[in-house]
Amino acid sequence: MSTLTDPSALPAPAPETFTVLLETTRGALHVDVERALAPLGADRFYGLVQAGYYDDVAFFRVVPGFVAQVGIHGDPAVNKIWRKAPFRDDPVRAENLPGTVTFATSGKDARTTQFFINLRDNRRLDAMGFAPFGRVRELEVAEALYSGYGESPPGGKGPMQGELHRQGNAYLRAGWPELDYIVRARVVA
């Protein structure tokens, strides 16, 4: 079974430090990961990248001056598997400063595949358990990701996460054609 459809088959642990190249429709984003910051988050990110999970995945939530969020797969069948594969929280050992990369969560031990790039000083997220595991080198590329849709309704015109999980990229391409995507993600160092 492919690691893309079998969460238990992800490689772990990740190297102590590694770099992921996110080839996006807006340009290259290098994510430098330090496993010591959030070991479980680094392991999950490494495994998902190695499995090809983030290839052709949209930055579906980009809020200027806040975050650029990505990580819901374009294939609904893959989403169904990964929504049922949360992993435990890491203690917060770094601050959510501009350029840091952090897994999204909806509560205790609920992280799965979504992560965000902090576009500003979001240290208020530290006390909420959001544990950064890396940093992007090209913050200006992250800030340039298409942000015209913003949040999902009622706060913005962006896609609804539930529908994205159920319908995948077909849903996004039909209603939000300007979104930027990770074309390919790979470990480069």
141-176: pLDDT as tens digits: 999 999 999 999 999 999 999 999 999 999 999 999
CB 105 within 8 A of CB 111: yes
| pLDDT, average across residues 91-114 | 97
pLDDT in tens, 62-79: 999 999 999 999 999 999
**Per-residue pLDDT tens digits for 8-39:** 999 889 999 999 999 999 999 999 999 999 99
Does the structure show a pLDDT above 80 at 104? yes
Q: What is the pLDDT of residue 62?
A: 98
Query: Is the CB of residue 45 less than 8 Å from the CB of residue 53?
Result: no
Give the model confidence (pLDDT) of 119-135 as tens digits.
Answer: 999 999 999 999 999 99
- 28 to 32, 86, 113: CA distances (angstroms): 13, 28, 20
For 12-187, which CATH class? Answer: mainly beta
Q: Report how far residue 189's alpha carbon sits from residue 186's, in angstroms, rounded to the nearest whole number.
A: 9
Q: What is the pLDDT at residue 1?
A: 54
Does the pTM surpass 0.95? The reply is: yes
